[in-house]
Amino acid sequence: MKAEKSPIQCVMSWIRRQPPKVKAFFAVVTAMTVLVFLKVIVHEHDNLFIASEAVHALGISLLIYKLTKEKTCAGISLKTQELTALFLAVRLYCSFVMEFDLHTLLDSATLVTTLWVIYMIRLKLRPTYMEDKDNFPIYYVVVPCAVVSLLIHPSTRHHIINRLFWAFCVYLEAVSVLPQLRVMQNTQIVEPFTAHYVFALGIARFLSCAHWILQVLDSGGRLLTALGYGLWPIMVLLSEIVQTFILADFCYYYVQSLMGGQLVLRLPSGVV
């Protein structure tokens, strides 16, 4: 006899059978519901950004555990780690010269751990690195981000170089996970610790996006004005939304796999 499905599994199974437009509708409704919930329970919205950094750190910790205990970096994109280190380094520079705060310390810790992951993949565990699967060209994201930052950047009173760097790290962060998604697309099978890491990235990106959206709503739009004029304020918000939706599809299949009791995540073709 087949075991009866739980109500949640039945709902997930029903959603999976729906057309893409219906799935997108449910995703938007779910995101808005969570935003309302966060607005009610979180009174200091800077805590959302701190939570975002903490979840990102948790994801990195899972990678460290995988690298040290399992002695393999299979399924991990070195290029995503390098892009992450790049935007963190640029953001740290901007923090030091523009506004030193708690976020600077959190970014410093995340950068150190990311550099350690890069060291392990490049030197210690190189034989297990799936270089043929990690085939997303970095310049596909770095060059467009650099060009867009030249065209659309903050209009604050800081030095132009600092403003360009600020814009560059915002845009690069939004798309830095694309090489990792390409690796998963190429393999179609994602082992547990890599899946946990990418899911943690998705949650971190959503919390960061929620932080910005709720800040804008609470300030009545004044926060966007404080960021400058022109297209830059809109691009900041758009970047946060883009990086959230890039990972939304994967997070859906991750939750579905978790509810089904599967340790290894198998992705349908074309998911990421």
The whole-model pTM stands at 0.81
In this structure, the strands spanning 265-266 and 189-190 are: antiparallel
Q: DSSP letter for 189, please.
A: E
Identity of the residue numbered 4: E
Which residue in the block uniquely carries the two structure tokens 């340790």?
263
| Residue 227, pLDDT score | 60
Under-70 pLDDT residues of the chain: 1-32, 34-37, 39-40, 43, 45, 100, 102, 219-229, 259-272
| Residue 1, pLDDT score | 45
| Residue 45, pLDDT score | 66
CA angle 195, 198, 201 (to 5 degrees): 150
Per residue in 187-229, pLDDT (tens digit) is 887 888 888 888 898 888 888 888 877 877 776 666 556 566 6
Three-class SS of 146-164: HHHHHHCCCCCCCCHHHHH
| Residue 244, pLDDT score | 83
Other C-beta atoms lying within 10 Å of the C-beta of residue 8: 11
b/e per residue, 211-242, with b = 16+ CB within 10 A?
Answer: bbbbbbeeeeeebbeebbeeebbebbbebbee
Burial of 196 (0-12, 13-18, 19+ CB in 10 A): buried
